[in-house]
Amino acid sequence: MQIVATKRFGKRLRKQPVKIKKEFKKRIRLFTSDMFHPLLNTHKLSGKAKNMWSFNISGDIRVVFDANQKGVVILVDIGSHSELYS
């Protein structure tokens, strides 16, 4: 699996608190080994983002990503539920 990040994702990750950045590193390692691990709560989104997926970093922090058939995962955005879906 190849993981790439958009510019937007990089900017938003840099703005996250240190605690969230550390948790992201742990969760992305878990994600690369098992994309559907129960701790991640990986799920397909609906509505405007119906072609995207999401996984949990911590209580309210999510990562939105797009996965294609060639095994490439594109990290699109990171933030709280309200920041991402409102």
Q: Which two tokens stand for residue 52?
A: 């995207």
For the chain, the domain total comes to 1
Residue 86 included in any domain: no
Stretch 3-22: mean pLDDT: 96
The 10s digit of each residue's pLDDT in 30-64 is 999 999 999 999 999 998 888 899 999 998 999 99
Strand bridging mode 61-67 / 72-80: antiparallel
CATH assignment at residue 44: 3.30.2310.20
Q: Name residues whose C-beta falls within 8 Å of residue 24's C-beta, 6 or more positions apart in sequence.
A: 13, 16, 57, 63, 78
Residue 25 included in any domain: yes
Cα distance between residue 85 and residue 15, in whole Å: 18
Question: Quick one: pLDDT band at residue 4, thresholds 50, 70, 90?
Answer: very high
Longest dimension (CA), the chain: 33
- The range of the structural domain enclosing residue 70 comes to 2-81
pLDDT for 47: 85
Amino acid, res. 51: N
Q: Which two tokens stand for residue 54?
A: 């999401």
